[in-house]
Each structure stands twice: as C-alpha cells, then as structure tokens.
Amino acid sequence: MSDAMISRDGSTIKIHRKVHLGSLLIYLGLFIITAWSLHSTVIVNTDWERMGSLADLGRSVGMFFPVDWYLFTLLPIPILETLMIATLGTGIAVILSMPVAWFAARNTSPFFPVTYPIGRGIMTLTRSVHEVVWGLIFVTAVGLGAFPGILAVAMRSIGFISKLTAEAIEDIDHGPVEAIQAAGGNRIQVVVFAIFPQILPIFIGNVIFQWDINIRRASILGLVGAGGLGLVLHNQQVLYNYQGITTVILAILVLVFFGEVVSYYARKKVI
C-alpha cells in the first residue's frame, strides 16, 4: 500500500472529500441546466391547449387507423425505387470515397501539404451537411425524381466511408509495404498488393453498413421531392390521408427491417 493511502494526517481523506464535492457540484450544475432546458423548450414553448384533453388526443391518434389497404397495392414500385436510390447512391459513394480516403490517409497521401487537407476537407464537408439539405440542393439543380436522391445519398455517404477507410489505411501493418518497396514495387503496386488486401474486409463491412443506413435516408428524401417512399408519404400528408400516412410508415419499417437483416448476414459473411 502506498504512503498516500496510509497517511495519518488526514490529507488523503481531505483530497477524497474535495473530489467528491467537486463531482457533486458538476452533477448539480448539469441537473440545473437540463431542468432549465426542459422548462424553456418543452413546458413553455409547447401549445398544451392545442393538444386538448386525453379524449381529444385519443381521437387524433385514431385518425391514423386502420391502415389504407388500397395504398399497399401502390407501394411496390416506390419501395423498389427507394432500394434503388440507396443502392446506387452507395455504389457512387464507394467509387468517389476511394481517392478521398487515399488523399486523407497520412501514410498514402501523394502530396501531403496539398492532398491531405483536400481529402480531409471533402470528408468533413460531405459528413457535415445533412442528406435532406443535399436533397434540396440536387432537387434544385437537376429537378424532381430519383436522380437527386441518388446524388444526395452518395454525397452524404462519401464522408463516412472515406473516413473509416482512411483510418484503416493508417492502421495497416507496414511489413508488406516495406517488402514490396524493397523488391522495387512502385506506389500503385504497394496500394494494390500491400494496403488494399489488409483493409478489404473492413471496407466491405463499412459499405454494407452504410447501405443499411442509406435505406433509411432514401426513405425520407422523397419529402423534398427526391422520389421513393418519402414522396408517397409527402403526398399522403398533402391529402390529409392519415391512414395512408400510417400505411407508408409501416412500409418504411418493413423496408428498414429488410435492410437490417440483409446487412447483418452480409457483414457476418464478410467479417
């Protein structure tokens, strides 16, 4: 046992009391900030009178049931369109994220002072802007339909895939790299035969996971005119067809569950 633990002058006990008191003050401050935030944003700024009584709330919820069974017959094409948006957007992101990851990795950036900031900048920009914002930008640029949704999903995915790929490149075993360089291999051969085989399982796993996420993204991009189930949901909102809204939400849940199952078994197969 250390001298600090067997101190007879009480110094260790005083230190523990100061640490305990400091933790209590921190927790108290966090509690006060949380309570003030809830009061100002939820209690004060919520129109409680509009919600009405519990009976009124129950009638409002009841407007969403039962589901619109006829609308189910119209959903297969929007469901396929949503899957297409997620899949093609992910595929484009895979192609574009490779050079970004190559630039953004410290050990592979070809001209570090220039290409490294460029790679990191693209990575940060594409991850920072929400997919709905990307959707609005591309809908304005190319018009309504699935194509702006594909582009929005692709732009949002580049940052995620390239960031994890760049980190995997930086964490590789440098033994194979040095062996190929010692044998006279050039930079391209080092990437193809020493780096890429090491990061391939991680890269594929990240792509599958991103495809799963992109199904969710593609499901809501139609709210800004980018096609798929989101567009059907928007149309039901405009028509005040609450039962149709429930129907589309159930279809989205089924599609997301399908993506979860496929991505789980695909990652399990690869990793």
Q: Is 58 left (phi over 0), alpha (psi -120 to 50) or beta?
A: alpha
> How far apart, in whole angstroms, are the C-alpha atoms of residue 222 and residue 107?
40
Among the listed residues 116, 212, 114, the one whose alpha carbon sits nearest the alpha carbon of residue 161: 212
Q: What length is written for the chain? A: 271
Among the listed residues 201, 130, 193, 194, the one whose alpha carbon sits nearest the alpha carbon of residue 165: 201
> How far apart, in whole angstroms, are the C-alpha atoms of residue 65 and residue 83?
27
Cβ pair 68, 241 in contact under 8 A:
yes
**Burial profile 73-93: b = 16 or more Cβ within 10 angstroms, e = fewer:** eebeebbebbbbbbbbbbbbb
Considering Cα of 179, then 180, then 186, then 189, what sign does the dihedral take? negative
Q: What is the DSSP string of 102-134?
A: HHHSTTT-TTHHHHHHHHHHHHHHHHHS-HHHH
- What is the chain's pLDDT, residue by residue, as a tens digit (271 residues)? 444 444 555 555 556 666 677 778 888 889 999 989 888 887 777 777 776 677 777 777 888 888 888 888 889 999 999 999 999 999 999 999 999 999 999 888 888 899 999 999 999 999 889 899 999 999 999 888 889 999 999 999 999 999 999 999 999 888 888 888 888 888 888 888 889 899 998 899 899 999 999 999 998 888 888 888 888 988 898 888 999 999 999 999 999 999 889 888 887 877 6
The topology (CATH level 3) of 69-270 is MetI-like fold (1.10.3720)
